[in-house]
Amino acid sequence: MSPAIVVLMMVASGAIMAFQAPINHALKTHVGTFESSLVSFMVGTAALVAVVLCTREGHLGNLKNVSWWHLLGGLIGAVFVTATLLAAPRIGVTGMIVAALAGQMTAALVIDRLGLLGMAPKPVDLPRVAGLLLLVASMVLINWSSWKRP
């Protein structure tokens, strides 16, 4: 898959992520905060079970060989979905997305630089740092009016 296709795939997946918080917020009004996170993950789990049953390309039996930290992705997802449920109604979807992206970018630069979690180290150069600083500035500007409200 070409880098351009991968970038477009991530732009598209990022675009649909913007819909997740409002959808989960609407669900929250009927079932509650943590319950809507649970339902969201149950629906996602059901979809993935169907994909796994149809593709049968992996080896779930190898789960016994993984380290404990390999399983943290689901916990991180649950924390993120729940945080979006709390943040979106207070700072809006745009403010929530840019704040989450600023956190992701900061952590990503550290992971890239240090080659953490099995990733190959990548240099952190001036353009990447400048991009992060511009993103942080965007976060401040986009959330400015939210911070001024009580």
What's the chain's average pLDDT? 92
C-beta neighbour count of 138 within 10 angstroms: 15
Helix (H, G, I), strand (E, B) or coil at 56: coil
pTM, rounded to two decimals: 0.82
Task: Report yes or no: 37 and 78 within 8 Å, Cβ to Cβ.
Answer: yes
Tell me the C-alpha distance between 29 and 35, whole Å.
Answer: 10
Instruction: Say if residue 150's pLDDT is above 80.
Output: no
What share of the chain in percent tops pLDDT 90?
85
Give the list of residues 6+ apart from residue 60 with CB closer than 8 angstroms, or none.
Answer: 52
pLDDT per residue as tens digits for the range 44-84:
999 999 999 999 888 988 999 999 999 999 999 999 999 99
Local confidence band at 148 (pLDDT 50, 70, 90 cut-offs): confident
Query: Would you state the pLDDT for residue 145?
Result: 87
Domains contained in the chain, number:
1
Local confidence band at 149 (pLDDT 50, 70, 90 cut-offs): low
pLDDT per residue as tens digits for the range 90-122:
999 999 999 999 999 999 999 999 999 999 999
Residue type, 134: L
Domain coverage including residue 63: 3-148
Helical ranges in 32-125 per DSSP H: 33-55, 72-114
